[in-house]
Amino acid sequence: MRIFRDLDMVEQLGSGIPRILRAYSKNCFVFGDSYTRMVFKFKNDVKTVEKTVEKTVEKTVEKTVEKIITAIKENPGITINQLSQITGLTRRGVEWQIAKLKEEKKLKRIGPDKGGYWEIIKD
């Protein structure tokens, strides 16, 4: 296995198995006649991870939408580029968020891109 060391693909020869055994039991190794299989199970339940990711995404989207709405309230003539700078999103990301707000009937564009303004639609 020295080839992996020569190619800088490992930190240190012979350190992997002891580290695996510290984190997992010997049961993670399955030996066959012509193969060795290692099974590393996730420590965190996948559903827990999915829920955490979902909640984080929801909160982030809510904060981003809040930034967009606040910026539009302060300056109805604000541009996509300015919103991009405020939110930290790409221009395309802002366009996507605005399209969602329009679809939800929360935002409307009055007039052309140049010289027009945004109107927030109240519920």
Beta bridge partners of 108: 119
The CATH topology of domain 59-120 is Arc Repressor Mutant, subunit A (1.10.10)
Q: What is the mean pLDDT of the chain?
A: 87
**Closest C-alpha among 40, 19, 16 to residue 29:** 40
Mean pLDDT to the nearest integer, 79-94: 95
Q: What is the 3-state secondary structure (H, E, C) of 59-107?
A: HHHHHHHHHHHHHHHHCCCCCHHHHHHHHCCCHHHHHHHHHHHHHCCCE
Token readout for 2 is: 């020295």
Residues of the chain with CATH 1.10.10.10: 59-120
The per-residue pLDDT for 23 is: 80
Highest averaged pLDDT of the listed ranges 2-11, 35-44, 87-96: 87-96
Identify whether the C-beta of residue 118 lies closer than 8 Å to the C-beta of residue 78: yes
CB 86 within 8 A of CB 64: no
Which pLDDT score is estimated for 74?
A: 96
pLDDT-wise least confident of 4-8, 52-56, 95-99: 4-8
Q: How many residues belong to the chain?
A: 123
Task: Write down the pTM of the prediction.
Answer: 0.58
pLDDT digits (tens, 9 = 90+) for 13-62: 777 778 888 888 888 888 899 998 888 877 667 777 788 888 898 898 89
In the chain, what is the straight-line distance between the N-terminal and C-terminal CA atoms, in Å?
66
CA-based nearest residue to 68, from 30, 102, 19: 102
What pLDDT score was predicted for residue 123? 60
